[in-house]
Amino acid sequence: MSDETFTIGTLAKRAGVNVQTVRYYERIGILPKPGRAKGGYRRYGNDAVARLQFIRHAGRLGFTLTETKELLALRARQGAPCGTVRTRAEEKLATIERKLAELKELRDAVAQLVRTCSGNTAVEHCSILAALGEPEVQKGKSPCPPPPRRPASRVSRRANAASKTV
């Protein structure tokens, strides 16, 4: 890497963050405070860009700033085995798997609510609004029966047939 240094604005631009983010990361200690030029301006090097990119990538993968700070500390321990890093990644994976399962339950519960509603009644008779007031909805079960099936018109039967052949 070169000895080039640049201002906080240039750093932010190169790393794809805003200046306030850089300052915040410095305050919480995830980004070291840089040296200052004669005029008192912060001067950053390419290592700061790389660190900010690491932080952003870790964040996109779901790691919190605290977890990312721990990963950065582990990375700084040259020669240390990476088993601890793997353990942290496994923990993050387990958290993501739990969240996915919760999201699937939510999706199924909302899908059930949608299936119960014909959309053809006044809101005071809306099965979705009624179900939201029932405790069973929180468990993913809708208290409302599905709407009655109406025979499809010729137009909708043709549309359905056409969509199946695509």
Q: Does pTM surpass 0.85?
A: no
Would you say residue 87 lies in a domain?
no
| Per-residue model confidence as pLDDT tens digits over 72-98 | 999 999 988 899 999 999 999 999 999
Owning domain of residue 53:
1-80
Do 68 and 106 lie in a common domain?
Answer: no
Say if residue 71 is in the same domain as residue 104.
no
pLDDT tens digits, one per residue of 89-132? 999 999 999 999 999 999 999 999 999 888 888 888 898 998 88
Band (pLDDT 50/70/90 cuts) for residue 2 is low
Query: Which of residues 18, 50, 80 is at a domain's end?
Result: 80
CA–CA dist 39, 68 (Å, integer): 32
> What pLDDT is recorded for position 121?
87
pLDDT at 159: 47
Q: Are residues 8 and 73 in the same domain?
A: yes
- Residues 46-78 have pLDDT tens digits of 999 999 999 999 999 999 999 999 999 999 999
Assess whether 73 and 121 both reside in one domain: no
Residue 86 within any structural domain of the chain: no
Per-residue CA distances from 73 to 50, 53, 67, 102, 120 (Å): 15, 16, 10, 32, 59
Instruction: Specify whether 124 is located in the same domain as 74.
Output: no
Q: Same domain for 122 and 48?
A: no
The number of folded domains in the chain is: 2
Do 102 and 164 share a domain, yes or no?
yes
The tens digit of pLDDT for each residue in 14-58 reads 999 999 999 999 999 999 999 888 888 889 999 999 999 999 999
pLDDT of residue 160: 47
Residue 18 in any domain: the answer is: yes
Percent of residues, the chain, with pLDDT higher than 90: 58
pLDDT of residue 151: 52
